[in-house]
Structure 1
Amino acid sequence: MTQTPEAPAERTRRKGRAARGDTGRRGARRRRRGRLRFGLAAGLAFLVLVTAGAGWVYLRLSGNIDTFGADGVSKNRPDADASKGENVLVIGTDARTGGNSELGGGDKSDVGRSDTAFLLHVYADHEHAVGVSVPRDTLVTIPPCKLPDGTWSETRTGVMFNAAYSTGETAEGNPACTQNTVEKLTGLRVDHTVVVDFKGFSQLTDVVGGVKVCLPQDVYQNDLNPNRATRGKLLFEKGEQTVSGQRALDYVRIRHGIGDGSDIGRIKRQQAFVSSLIKKIKDDGFTPTKLLPLADAATKSMTVDPGLGSADKLLKFAMTLKDVDLHNTKFVTIPWKYDGDRVAVVQPDADALWAALKDDRTLDGKDAGAKNGGKAAASPTPSPTVQEVSGAGVSVAVYNGTMTKGLASTAAEALTDHDFTVTGTANAAAQDHATTTIEYGPGQRTDAEEVARLFPDAEVRAADTEGIAVVLGADYTGSASPSPAPTSVPSGVAEDARSADEDLCSNLSYG
């Protein structure tokens, strides 16, 4: 075969390569290493920038977060290991500071008050959750709480729930006292407490681009403020619409002019609003571009317990909620009834609800205590649990209404064992009582019901006297022990529950 003669220039380059031998390969390796070092340096630089950016984000978010002191939290608390799930107390406050007065928070020199509150129970499977609203007019026992001068208040009985937040009469309020009160009321450990103010709530609704709501009728200015002399301008038209900022705040605060004008009706609308807000956040997705503005607005609006007092703790907790299904997110109101113009807790229904949450049982009786997809509770039915009875700060007189000697002393000993103060024992005016009765004076019903838990089947009734008196009947056998908590949630509580995916325009008014 005839070969094509090499060009002089090509021949010269070939001889040069042959003469260099391994030296050329080493040069190529050096060039490759150079490119590798440049790529590695660029990657490290990118990593540093990303890390620095994340650090800046965390510093920014952490700088937004205010915490309240843990020294105000009661030392006498429910067992931390009693439930596998987590309990988060959410308080909406009309604190007068930080620009809130301009949004309807009132006089800056006034005392901060809680406007709404609910206990969110996140089940251990992180697929179910239930929020239990506590009306602000609910009559409760407020345990000792820390005051601004470092002393502790006395136990107060038969007072409104929102008085706990005002304990100490400071402009910023007392979230630790509200937490103590909820733990006393429920027997559940509150793992975290979050306080959201008017201004922060308003900004949060702006960041998400508004929240869908539904009005059963047209709403005017005097529906928000009944003290107005005229109807005022139209605030909301009847039907479905999107609200944000001040309009969102006005919506959740409407009480008069819708339904029966009660706080219970407003709670239902607030539950609908929170449901709609959760749905909007989940629909937008848990992406950095969506979450950063949301986290920035949220952290600016909140005061939290020290356990959530940094960005990483707060975001880590928030991410545990991302798999909670909308349909499995329920809202209920504590079992209640009217007591005059106040709200009384209905027993044993309330204790049944707390027992279910403690055992991680859903409202329909499923076991959500682990990643089991919410399977029905295994048979046989769990044994009834006994919730602790605490009589700290409660005084009781005991009377023997039977012919059995020593019965009053026996009951008094049992009461003392549960920290009640027995003021005296004596025979009743008559010794023919068939059933035990517990009589109470004004404002003492809650404490009387706590006493009644040691005397199953006792009748609890109001009397024209001061204090609490136990009149023993023939049904008292000489032993007093806490009655077992019911093992299922009453049907009325479950039927009244609202799911986060429920129709916006359904079930918005009580009465």
Structure 2
Amino acid sequence: MVLLVLLSFVLLVAAGAGWLYLRLNANIDTFDADGIAADRPRAGASRAQNVLVIGSDARTDGNSALGGGDSEDVGRSDTAFLLHVYGDRKHAVAVSIPRDTLVDIPPCRLPDGTWTQPQRRTMFNAAYSVGQTAKGNPACTQNTVEKLTGLRVDHTVVIDFKGFAALTDVVGGVDVCLPQDVYEQDLNPHRTTRGERLFARGEQRVAGHRALDYVRLRHGIGDGSDIGRIKRQQAFVGSLFKKVKSDGLTPTRVLPLADAATRSLTVDPGLGSVEKLASFALSLKDVDLHHTTFVTVPWRYEGARVAVVEPDATRLWELLRTDRPVDGADLRPAGPSDGSPSGRPATSPTPPGTVPSSGTPRASADTPASPSTAPARPVPDARRADDQLCADLSYG
């Protein structure tokens, strides 16, 4: 999604659309760099870049009309992933971090300038709410990701409800397939009644508010977990990219996309102008969907929460730190009871984990792994996401 937004800036620059800079520049919001920790991982030696992408659950600035809730509510993060762009600037991997993951949150800056005490084994999405402000705390989430991964985050981008809805409108919607009818209560489990039907079973195209409802849906499909929702979001983003690639971004689409994006993005100061965004976008213009893999941090359930699996996670971060490819594998073994697409049990007793113990993962998510390290069920990668949407929805 972020690559799609950046692509719009590439096209604007290529078209010589300098007259748009003033218009778009006024849209861009930045967060305070004073909240970024001083004790940070060192920058990598290669040309690789790490971009933290946060989906904001904030209800400010008109977002409550799309997401529901109080417009004065505390800012929350609904989803997050770390996009590692390899040094060749042609390949990338997006590592999703479930919002319920138990992590250590380092000291973070409060609005009054003081810093919090470290928090141990706290839900990951709590970092974004530190300070209890309506717009959230992206710097605290960035600090938390750097502590978790040991990787330096080069840039942080936050996109809100309006930005996502507008982006899907600009591209004309995305085709999805639902295995069952979905009702208002599925989106908001606090409702006392089922409510109206939001989605009918079967194939359909979603855009705008309906696309937002679809990717936020957690309880109406599969096992109701955040992990299941992450899989659907990964597949949806893959389909979105595939549609954009097949349709192309015409000049009439580029300006609405860039305008909607800049109105709905909050970025670190390093991306805080159209010129900076365009320059960064140009550096990533050769990253292709076919060379982008989606994975989830190695995980297991710990009660109602998610725990990071070691040493698998450490191996994953080390591979990214050294700019080596990672294995596009799911993190839990499949079985007939969990509704995996194949309906077959796992063929390997290997415990959950993304990275093989050898530390030498396969270079492509399409290349079969060796039997001893074969993943039980692959995360849908971008190349297959569009074809797998119906199947993937069944096992959320």
Give 2:20's match in structure 1, choosing from 52, 57, 60. 57
- TM-superposed deviation, 1:55: 3.4
User: Which is higher, the Rg of structure 1 or of structure 2?
Assistant: 1
Give 2:104's match in structure 1, choosing from 128, 135, 141. 141
- TM-superposed deviation, 1:263: 0.7
Matched, 1:350 2:316: no
- TM-superposed deviation, 1:244: 0.9
**C-alpha contact (below 8 Å) 1:62/1:311 kept by paired residues:** yes
3-state SS of 1:499 partner? coil
- TM-superposed deviation, 1:510: 4.5
Matched, 1:496 2:381: no
**C-alpha contact (below 8 Å) 1:215/1:239 kept by paired residues:** yes
3-state SS of 2:159 partner? strand
- TM-superposed deviation, 1:213: 2.1
Q: Which residue number in structure 1 is paired with residue 392 of structure 2?
A: 507
Matched, 1:186 2:153: no
Structure 2 stretches of 5 or more lacking a match? 1-12, 329-356, 363-372
How many angstroms apart in 1 are the aligned matches of 2:47 and 2:200? 44
For normalisation by structure 1, the TM-score amounts to 0.63
Q: Which residue number in structure 1 is paired with residue 168 of structure 2?
A: 205
- TM-superposed deviation, 1:494: 9.4
Q: Higher relative CO (CA 8 A, sep ≥ 6), structure 1 or 2?
A: 2
Q: Which residue number in structure 1 is paired with residue 34 of structure 2?
A: 71
- TM-superposed deviation, 1:227: 2.6
| Partner AA of 2:95 in structure 1 | V
**C-alpha contact (below 8 Å) 1:139/1:159 kept by paired residues:** yes
**C-alpha contact (below 8 Å) 1:282/1:322 kept by paired residues:** no
Matched, 1:335 2:207: no
- Cα gap change, 1:226/1:495 in structure 2, threshold over 3 Å: closer, same or farther? closer
**Aligned residues between the structures:** 343
Moved over 4 A (4+): 489-495
3-state SS of 1:317 partner? helix
- Cα gap change, 1:161/1:493 in structure 2, threshold over 3 Å: closer, same or farther? farther
How many angstroms apart in 1 are the aligned matches of 2:252 and 2:325? 34
Q: Which residue number in structure 2 is paired with residue 235 of structure 1?
A: 198
**C-alpha contact (below 8 Å) 1:117/1:133 kept by paired residues:** yes
Matched, 1:174 2:137: yes
Q: Which residue number in structure 1 is paired with residue 235 of structure 2?
A: 272
Structure 1 stretches of 5 or more lacking a match? 1-49, 366-484
Give 1:315's match in structure 2, choosing from 274, 278, 288. 278
Give 1:130's match in structure 2, choosing from 93, 108, 114. 93
| Partner AA of 1:212 in structure 2 | D
- TM-superposed deviation, 1:292: 2.1
How many angstroms apart in 2 are the aligned matches of 1:83 and 1:106? 44
Q: Which residue number in structure 1 is paired with residue 354 of structure 2?
A: none
How many angstroms apart in 1 are the aligned matches of 2:277 and 2:289? 21
- TM-superposed deviation, 1:273: 1.4
Superposed CA offset, 1:377-424 (max 9, x none)? xxxxxxxxxxxxxxxxxxxxxxxxxxxxxxxxxxxxxxxxxxxxxxxx
- Cα gap change, 1:315/1:215 in structure 2, threshold over 3 Å: closer, same or farther? farther
| Partner AA of 2:360 in structure 1 | S
Give 2:288's match in structure 1, choosing from 318, 322, 325. 325
3-state SS of 2:391 partner? coil
3-state SS of 2:290 partner? coil
Superposed CA offset, 1:473-503 (max 9, x none)? xxxxxxxxxxxx9623594669533221211
3-state SS of 2:80 partner? strand
Q: Which residue number in structure 2 is paired with residue 101 of structure 1?
A: 64
Q: Which residue number in structure 2 is paired with residue 414 of structure 1?
A: none
- Cα gap change, 1:138/1:489 in structure 2, threshold over 3 Å: closer, same or farther? farther
3-state SS of 1:158 partner? strand
Q: Which residue number in structure 2 is paired with residue 216 of structure 1?
A: 179
Give 2:245's match in structure 1, choosing from 271, 282, 292. 282
3-state SS of 1:274 partner? helix
Superposed CA offset, 1:7-65 (max 9, x none)? xxxxxxxxxxxxxxxxxxxxxxxxxxxxxxxxxxxxxxxxxxx99x8333011111110
| Partner AA of 1:499 in structure 2 | D
| Partner AA of 1:216 in structure 2 | P
**C-alpha contact (below 8 Å) 1:353/1:489 kept by paired residues:** no
3-state SS of 2:280 partner? helix
Q: Percent identity?
A: 71
